[in-house]
Chain A
């Protein structure tokens, strides 16, 4: 019974890692590749680690595995955000079929400072009030 659970967990984890690698080759854009690295690979590695914990059936090893999973879940979004910010500021183009670019015109390319966005909020609230009047 334990072998069956371990096998299913390892199968799912391996498939998720394989799909992440496939997306790494097939995706057309740097930002799409960052999303692949963050989500699918983290889920696959987490499932493989949980399979190792179920197989060994010890408390110390389970604690170690959950520490690794917690560390991966903490660091994956941080590194993905840093890589995305760096690639946007260094001028990596979006895919030509991408629909929207929210950052466009909202940052200073020389000092790399973001606009706060407050002035846009007041404008949008004004435009919302106008049709009611």
Chain B
């Protein structure tokens, strides 16, 4: 079993299953905050997806997208928490 087979048949399916599990929490989440955490974790798992794809297709340029995704995930979490906090104020 070569490395590319391992990534193709183990890493990518397990990452897909974990994204499905997080999406279940995103649908279930009893409060707004749970959905924000689930969204943050989905984007973070997407960075792992991109790094696995850059190993698989031998294209390191894809990691630029991973850096931008990390930035946008942080900004999105900050913005969502800011607006939830503003909503609770009288």
Interface residues of A, Cβ cutoff 8 Å to B: 3, 6-7, 10-11, 13-15, 17-18, 20-22, 24-25, 30, 33-34, 37, 41-42, 44-45, 48-49, 51-52, 55-56, 58, 61, 64-65, 67-68, 71-72, 75, 78-79, 82-83, 85-87, 89-92, 110
Chain B interface, number of residues (Cβ within 8 angstroms): 47
Check B74 against A75 for contact (C-beta < 8 Å).
Answer: yes
In the bound complex, residues from chain A placing their C-beta under 8 Å from that of B34 are 30, 33
Check A10 against B55 for contact (C-beta < 8 Å).
Answer: yes
A14/B63 contact (C-beta < 8 A), A20-B18, A22-B21, A90-B33 known: no
CA distance A68 to B67 in the complex (A): 6
B21, chain A: closest CB distance, angstroms: 4
Chain B contacts with A in 7-31, Cβ cutoff 8 A? 7, 10-11, 14-15, 17-19, 21-22, 24-25, 31
CA distance A89 to B89 in the complex (A): 10
Out of B17, B67, B84, which one reaches A86, CB within 8 Å? B84
